[in-house]
């Protein structure tokens, strides 16, 4: 591999910002200093650029089998698109099939990813069927597979949803084993009822997706999971938080000295539910769960980020092409849920966040990378630029402008919800473990370059 | 000054923790790397030690004239004691005398500190009399004196207290100028009434100090200041927060997307109000305002730290010797308010926080140094170990044990509220701007070594 | 029936208190006046006594089949005991068997009550299986059976519990039909898990009942039901609220302009969970769900009554004799849930409430009678002393003292949780629909005297 | 005086509603019954009419000297106008002049009212200068003058405002004496600053009145007063609550088992702040403090009424004619604060409340009469229709329509903020202490008919 010297950049971490040269030896950062006088196999000038830790997206679904089809990005295409946009590591979900083992799911996801992923990857384990047998597997999953985070779905009854007892007992089991529970918090019962009611009334258009999933359904489930977590003492993380109502539940829990981890996604910060009301089938592009919310919710989420209440901005990347979306042409409930995002998240968060004065540079790094790395045990290997850490470095030109388009993006999907958005700030070069993976839009690594990342048990004082 | 190489230590910042050598050139950090092969004028081996950013104590009162006497530590003795304990920078308060100018206060405080302080120092400006003339001074104070933080007292009527209008107008003025308001939040009216009532009833013992200052008085004032800050849009910071009730006001404000900065002090985390009820005059040792609270408040404060609600753990260092305290032998209200702490804060927070599993290492650094540096604009000069930053580095031996005692401490005061406490973890060497200031308990720098630190206007996205 | 003149008493309603004579003609109050000069078939002197509206207990379970046995009071014995203690009307629960119709349940309960009850009675309908067929029955139940209140259980999975979808759809259905949903709010899943865990650990004593049912389980379910009610716009009433945590959910809902109706029971105001920790099998006497709580919860409930947050104090009367309780000798989960109370509620609430200065006289009447009458549509027939209302009048001697004992009570159960309690204030005479039913402890009416009460659709502006 | 029989009406109290005849002997109600067969000196047929307890307006300012002029209604004209509209009793404010005694104020107000008022009246005592001397007067004021309610102003610094210490000490003094504190809750300091700032900027139009008095200023002061009341244990009542933000403070206090009494005024339920933005000087008509708020605040207030959080709907009647208002033509701060309302409150609350389905009939009576009577100790003399109570009865035709207009109203003021409003429901006859005072718009009693009402010490269990 050799060595690499990145000169004249401005290193930014979740805490720091300083001008320095970064010297990489092999896969890791070896020296950081002012005007280093070392020779390297390769030198890159990063003048006028930021050096950010490689982005981490803790919420993706590559090749997800869902509603009779598969998410259109494979681990190969999806992680490569991520690298183009500055994301070097993902955490995808190995999802248990009800009636089968966690082991089987993890094996299946390894089959999809191993030898294919271009970027690095780890897995959360999604528990959809918690029983005595599943309980037995936890130790092995944590200690052997290096997976410390277990997701439950509070929606999608009959397919993915667990009941409160399963969630409660999973949390109890994980307290001593060193696991954290993450949850999709929507009240599946209420939503299923709304969907059926709408369909019976002949309400089939995409807008009925959002009309079937009110914010209160999300907040209720979030509050319930927070209560159950409190009762057990288990660490808890809400995935893809969308709204003020859910934040209110998190805040209320603080009064009893509870700590809740919160993730939101880039789309909830930037898009709103008016999208569902566009003419024709346009709304299908943002059919995802939970759905997009109101402007006031965007404000609340940005504020929550600055209040240190949110730890991560992910994507829930789960793209489906328009012909897949078309499965729900006559029935919104058959539109595959999900949208692309992995390639745009990092740059959009910079452009709309830092660029528009909503967040600072360190907060940008924390949200795009460090926060997730710490919670999920990737830190300090990932999530920072520091001596000894993996040299996952994004050389970012804050002045470069570009326009988002499905024509030019690298995700394997034929639309982009941000089509035409002007973005200021661009990933010029992406370095993964010391190797230049992307340079000026050209991919220099290929299928199988990505490595699987084992993670240690959860540490509440990360 | 030359160069300095610290070898084999473990660098810890508010984000990172990694094994590295640190090379200092002149006053600042030049290179950080694994096994650096550079030669330096001096080399220190830091094996088995942490390298922490020098502690910052954003709340001290050296030589404070108060209640007819002066705090017993001068800038010389106080900052030197701080260096012994790992604190390299303080922010003291230049307190306006009612009827006089801010300028006069700043001039006076410079007279006390300049040429005397051993550690580095900055000033907050305490505004006790806000009027048209004071308003005119703000620009100069911020831009010329480099002071961006303005403290108001909501207690001590007739001496220091401002009314709501003054606080409101000060906040309004500072929004555009780039200032942050900090406040001592206690309802002075209620407390004055309680004190008078107790004295009239012949209740003169130290315990009546705490009995005159209930938590609700603090919380009420905090809530009021938060409301006023919200109305103005001004950045706001509560100094020495002590209790659950005050935290409740901070949390409530989050629902309207407000961000409030919170400081607590080491004594509120570790001591409780039973101290006031000790036999004889013992309680006088912890007569400070606000007073110590309950165990439940300690729990709430530790939780709030982990909820990212608290940004700094300071001291409110303001020592008075027992013969000074004796002024209030027959009248608790005449006991000079304040206690020593600057030397012990850093090590106690480590020992009781990190050592007892209440907080992580990065949080320790954030609370003891980085948080205050960021809010008050000392960052990145202070508050981190990074290329280009001042080489303010504490070489900390986490295994070394010692016992706190007034016999051995360096603060100029004849008691210590933590007398006899066993502490695990000790400042072995304190480096200030590249110079070894303290080594194994020996002071290598002296009066006047400290520098005054100008700070830029407040940046909400620090 | 003739006429009846009650002279010299002090009439107390939920609003009023005044000295007057009350003239009853047939079953209803005809005239109220100062020193009435009318002749009546019978005259009673009520000097020094209060005339209270007959007590209403909106939560009883006569002859309830539960856990393989039946509550030991029949409609005959239970309502007669109620009359002895000043309660003239009950609302019992006709409980649907899962898989069967509401109609069947109502028919069954009529069979138990009709021709047997001594006091008047109405039914709530407990919906344990809500489906399309049940939905069809609602109109009939409301309009023909005169039942406007529908209870759901959020606990007892597999027997009584409905899931969120059923509750949600029931609420939606009732909004337009004029029904109110009442709920037993405990998270059945969490509790079932706790019970099983305790039993597996060999924890079989009565105290494990309370240890399996923490307050948070109640509060979570309450919050969830309140959320679902809010989403639907349906009127909602929490039965047997026990704790501060649940009240917190009710209070939080007020901020979004929601109104939640709250019932507590006399035992939650007066007894606490130390009872479960008594020696031997004593704790079984108070095995009921939810369980007794802490002293702080009693304080919170009394406060909530005075804050106008609670509308009714009921009993959840559901007695089992000690030989029935003994079914759970070796397994707390087999102890039939429930305890007697109908005879003591009214006098205890007076004695402990009014007598000890916790509530006023009007509040006593509101809690014991009027509140429930208004919510459940018994008003103005029941729940007041007013011209045209049923002459259900308790002549109450506020000075008379007595001691509660299973030896002397009229409930068909061989223990009393208040055994030995001294009560000040006693029902001297109970008049039901103009007939003296109880006089000085003697029953003057018998089986079958009670009438079934149809109730109109729910009126939110009762 | 003789006797009076009102036949065929429907009596409505805060609890009851029933058809009955009401027989009045002298000044009080003697008999209520179905088809009474008594002969009376006078008989009135009230078929199709409600019989409401005479309205009580607990917040009026007759002849108030304010801002250099006097409110345009005298006790004579104002109480007569009240009688026309169904209000039979007022509680006005005897306002201490700073530097003078409470006694002097009470004497002065008696001079204005005694022998002049047409309706009955009581006084609150407004304490504007609480000191040792004032403290001495309290016992006398309560026991001799029969005044149990003491108002403080948290605004109008230099004229009426007390500081926190005065409020705190007043509350402490009243706990044992049996007094209740009522407060005008606006942060005077903030508002004074806003006013001055606006005037300096040349913002002189009426709309700057509302722009100078944001809701947060009201809420802050309310929260502060609630905190202080909590600390003392004193009963507390917020006058003229206008907004959701203030209600939030009341609700928050409930969690610590505190009870706060809340008054709003009819204008805050019906008018909103768009009035201030009308062309020309129109906005001056509703220049009052606190100002009108938003539609959302109206919703919140109506909801709070149904949540049993509000006890009284008053007027803050304080009219100024347009030539008086014109004093502030060029300076909004010189517009006399206040507006007429006493004549319209009762009918508007019926029409807009009951008529539009926002509140029920009993709630209407509670808000217009009973609630205030109970809190302020007028009950049971006033506030109900019951045997022994004063025969203050409004015979109200719910079908009669009329249009509000300054042309036809009886208040001594030349405009009406509700000009042109259609009202359904009208006071046909007003009976005060058994005497027909108003009949079909004709006044049958005159100056001096009103009586002063002494009130007993405050009873928290009213």
Residues 6+ positions from C42 with CB-CB distance below 8 Å: C2, C3, C4, C5, C436
**Smallest CA–CA separation between C305 and chain A, in Å?**
24
- The verdict on a CB contact (< 8 Å) between B190 and D220 is no
Chain D residues with CB-CB distance to C361 below 8 A: 461
Residues 6+ positions from D103 with CB-CB distance below 8 Å: D137, D140, D141
Binding partners of C (≥3 Cβ pairs within 8 A): A, D
D165, D193, D227 member nearest B220 (Cβ): D227
The pLDDT tens digits along chain D (462 residues) read: 699 999 999 999 999 999 999 999 999 999 999 999 999 999 999 999 999 999 999 999 999 998 889 999 999 999 999 999 999 999 999 999 999 999 999 999 999 999 999 999 999 999 999 999 999 999 999 999 999 999 999 999 999 999 999 999 999 999 999 999 999 999 999 999 999 999 999 999 999 999 999 999 999 999 999 999 999 999 999 999 999 999 999 999 999 999 999 999 999 999 999 999 999 999 999 999 999 999 999 999 999 999 999 999 999 999 999 999 999 999 999 999 999 999 999 999 999 999 999 999 999 999 999 999 999 999 999 999 999 999 999 999 999 999 999 999 999 999 999 999 999 999 999 999 999 999 999 999 999 999 999 999 999 998
CB pairs under 8 A between B and D: 55
Taking only the tens place, the pLDDT of each residue in A127-151 is 999 999 999 999 999 999 999 999 9
* Locus of tokens 């029933």: D18
Residue of chain A nearest C187, judged by CA positions: A164
- The verdict on a CB contact (< 8 Å) between D254 and C307 is yes
Residue of chain D nearest B229, judged by CA positions: D216
How far are the Cα atoms of A182, A242, C83, C157, D81 from residue A376, in angstroms, in the given order?
11, 21, 64, 35, 72
**Smallest CA–CA separation between B234 and chain D, in Å?**
15
CB C431 within 8 A of CB C55: no
Q: Which residues of D touch B (CB under 8 A)?
A: 163-165, 168-169, 187, 189-190, 192-193, 214, 216-217, 219-220, 223-224, 227-228, 230-231, 252
Residue of chain D nearest C304, judged by CA positions: D257
- The verdict on a CB contact (< 8 Å) between B193 and D169 is yes
Report how far residue B28's alpha carbon sits from residue A335's, in angstroms, rounded to the nearest whole number: 58
- The verdict on a CB contact (< 8 Å) between B31 and A34 is yes
Domains of chain B: 3-52+385-398+421-443 (2.30.40.10), 54-375 (3.20.20.140)
- The verdict on a CB contact (< 8 Å) between D308 and C308 is yes
C15, C30, C460 member nearest D384 (Cβ): C15
What strand order describes the sheet that includes A261-265?
A55-60, A87-95, A120-126, A149-153, A180-184, A235-241, A261-265, A312-314
Report how far residue A394's alpha carbon sits from residue A51's, in angstroms, rounded to the nearest whole number: 6
Chain A residues with CB-CB distance to C193 below 8 A: 165, 168-169
* Residue of D14, D31, D32 for testing the chain C interface, max C β-carbons within 10 Å: D31
Which is it for strands C149-153 and C393-403: parallel, antiparallel or unpaired? unpaired
On the question of pLDDT at A26 being above 70, the answer is: yes
Report how far residue C253's alpha carbon sits from residue A440's, in angstroms, rounded to the nearest whole number: 54
Chain B residues with CB-CB distance to A248 below 8 A: 255
Residue of chain A nearest C230, judged by CA positions: A216
- The verdict on a CB contact (< 8 Å) between D299 and C257 is yes
Residue of chain C nearest A162, judged by CA positions: C189
CB D310 within 8 A of CB D366: no
DSSP state string for B168-208 = HHHHHHHHHHT-EEEEE---HHHHHHHHHHHHHTT--STHH
**Smallest CA–CA separation between D172 and chain B, in Å?**
11
Among B446, B364, B346, B460, which Cα is nearest to B75's?
A: B446
The average pLDDT across B105-131 equals 98
Provide the pLDDT for residue D146.
98
Among B345, B167, B185, B344, which Cα is nearest to B262's?
A: B185
- The verdict on a CB contact (< 8 Å) between B19 and A388 is yes
**Smallest CA–CA separation between C67 and chain D, in Å?**
37
- Kindly state the tokens that stand for A427: 């990933």
Taking only the tens place, the pLDDT of each residue in A115-127 is 999 999 999 999 9
Chain A residues with CB-CB distance to C243 below 8 A: none
Which DSSP letter does residue C362 get? H
- The verdict on a CB contact (< 8 Å) between A189 and C165 is yes
Helices (H), C144-187: 164-177
Provide the pLDDT for residue C67.
81
Report how far residue C430's alpha carbon sits from residue C451's, in angstroms, rounded to the nearest whole number: 16
Chain B residues with CB-CB distance to D216 below 8 A: 227, 230-231
- The verdict on a CB contact (< 8 Å) between B165 and D193 is yes
**Smallest CA–CA separation between A356 and chain B, in Å?**
12
* Residue of B130, B154, B157, B189 for testing the chain D interface, max D β-carbons within 10 Å: B189
Taking only the tens place, the pLDDT of each residue in C116-135 is 999 999 999 999 999 999 99
The average pLDDT across C318-347 equals 98
- Kindly state the tokens that stand for C249: 């959910």
Provide the pLDDT for residue A68.
84
Count of CA atoms in the C-beta half-sphere (13 A) of D243 = 23
Reduced to 3 states (helix: H, G, I; strand: E, B; else coil), residue A276 is helix
Binding partners of B (≥3 Cβ pairs within 8 A): A, D
- The verdict on a CB contact (< 8 Å) between C165 and A192 is yes
Provide the pLDDT for residue D1.
64
A300, A380, A460 member nearest B17 (Cβ): A380
- The verdict on a CB contact (< 8 Å) between C18 and D380 is yes
Chain D residues with CB-CB distance to B165 below 8 A: 189-190, 192-193
Report how far residue C52's alpha carbon sits from residue C383's, in angstroms, rounded to the nearest whole number: 9
Report the share of chain A in percent with pLDDT over 90: 99
The mean pLDDT of chain A is: 97
Helices (H), D322-381: 322-325, 345-348, 361-365, 371-375
CB pairs under 8 A between A and B: 125
Report how far residue C167's alpha carbon sits from residue C222's, in angstroms, rounded to the nearest whole number: 12
On the question of pLDDT at A80 being above 80, the answer is: yes
- The verdict on a CB contact (< 8 Å) between A220 and C217 is no
- The verdict on a CB contact (< 8 Å) between D257 and C34 is no
CB A431 within 8 A of CB A392: yes
**Smallest CA–CA separation between B261 and chain D, in Å?**
19
Report how far residue B318's alpha carbon sits from residue D89's, in angstroms, rounded to the nearest whole number: 60
On the question of pLDDT at A1 being above 70, the answer is: no
- The verdict on a CB contact (< 8 Å) between B190 and D228 is yes
Chain A residues with CB-CB distance to B13 below 8 A: 13, 15-16
Provide the pLDDT for residue D67.
81
Report how far residue C320's alpha carbon sits from residue C343's, in angstroms, rounded to the nearest whole number: 15
- The verdict on a CB contact (< 8 Å) between D168 and B193 is yes
Provide the pLDDT for residue B1.
63
Provide the pLDDT for residue A67.
81
Report how far residue B264's alpha carbon sits from residue B257's, in angstroms, rounded to the nearest whole number: 22
**Smallest CA–CA separation between C166 and chain A, in Å?**
8
Other CB atoms closer than 10 Å to residue A306's CB: what's the count? 17
A14, A18, A357 member nearest B380 (Cβ): A18
- The verdict on a CB contact (< 8 Å) between B370 and A15 is yes
Residues 6+ positions from B46 with CB-CB distance below 8 Å: B6, B7, B8, B9, B395, B429
Report how far residue D134's alpha carbon sits from residue A386's, in angstroms, rounded to the nearest whole number: 69
Provide the pLDDT for residue B66.
85
Q: Is the ipTM of this complex over 0.90?
A: yes
Chain A residues with CB-CB distance to C220 below 8 A: 223-224, 227-228
- Kindly state the tokens that stand for B457: 């206007």
**Smallest CA–CA separation between D189 and chain B, in Å?**
5
- The verdict on a CB contact (< 8 Å) between A187 and C164 is yes
Chain D residues with CB-CB distance to B227 below 8 A: 216, 219-220, 223
A23, A251, A360 member nearest B255 (Cβ): A251
């Amino acid at each position: 591999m050799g060595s690499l010297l990145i000169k004249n950049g401005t290193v930014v971490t979740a805490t720091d910002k300083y001008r320095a040269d970064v010297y990489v030896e092999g896969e890791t950062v070896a020296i950081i200093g002012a005007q280093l006088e070392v020779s390297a196999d390769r030198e890159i000038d990063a003048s006028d650029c930021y050096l950010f830790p490689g982005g981490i997206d803790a919420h993706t679904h590559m090749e997800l089998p869902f509603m009779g089809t598969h998410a259109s990005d494979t681990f190969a295409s999806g992680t490569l698109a991520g690298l183009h946009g500055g994301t070097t590591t993902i955490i995808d979900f190995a999802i248990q099939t009800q009636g089968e083992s966690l082991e089987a799911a993890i094996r299946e996801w390894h089959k999809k990813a191993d030898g294919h992923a271009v970027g690095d990857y780890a897995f959360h384990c999604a528990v959809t069927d918690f029983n005595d047998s599943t309980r037995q597997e936890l130790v092995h999953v944590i200690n052997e597979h290096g997976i410390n985070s277990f997701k439950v779905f509070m929606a999608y009854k009959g397919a993915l949803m667990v009941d409160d007892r399963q969630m409660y007992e999973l949390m109890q089991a994980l307290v001593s084993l060193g696991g954290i529970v993450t949850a999709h918090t929507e009240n599946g019962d209420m939503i299923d009822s709304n969907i059926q009611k709408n369909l019976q009334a002949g309400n089939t258009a995409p807008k009925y997706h959002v009309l079937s999933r009110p914010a209160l359904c999300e907040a209720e489930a979030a509050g319930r999971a927070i209560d159950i977590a409190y009762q057990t003492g288990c660490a808890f993380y809400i995935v893809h938080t969308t709204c003020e109502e859910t934040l209110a539940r998190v805040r209320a829990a603080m009064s009893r000295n509870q700590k809740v981890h919160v993730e939101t996604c880039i789309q909830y910060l930037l898009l709103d539910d008016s999208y569902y009301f566009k003419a024709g089938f346009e709304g299908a592009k943002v059919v995802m769960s939970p759905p997009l919310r109101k402007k006031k919710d965007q404000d609340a989420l940005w504020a929550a980020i600055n209040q240190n209440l949110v730890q991560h901005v992910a994507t829930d990347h789960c793209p489906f092409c328009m012909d897949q979306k078309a499965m729900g042409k006559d029935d919104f409930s058959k539109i595959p849920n999900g949208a692309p995002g992995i390639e745009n998240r990092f740059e959009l968060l910079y452009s709309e966040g830092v660029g528009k004065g909503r967040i600072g540079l360190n907060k940008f790094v924390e949200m795009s990378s460090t926060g997730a790395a710490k919670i999920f045990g990737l830190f300090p290997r990932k999530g920072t630029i520091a001596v000894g850490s993996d040299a996952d470095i994004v050389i970012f030109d804050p002045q470069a402008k570009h326009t988002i388009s499905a024509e030019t993006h690298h995700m394997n999907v034929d639309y982009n919800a941000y089509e035409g958005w002007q973005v200021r700030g661009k990933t010029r070069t992406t370095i993964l473990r010391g190797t230049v993976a992307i340079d000026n839009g050209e991919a220099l690594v290929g299928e199988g370059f990505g490595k699987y990342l084992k993670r240690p048990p959860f540490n509440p004082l990360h």
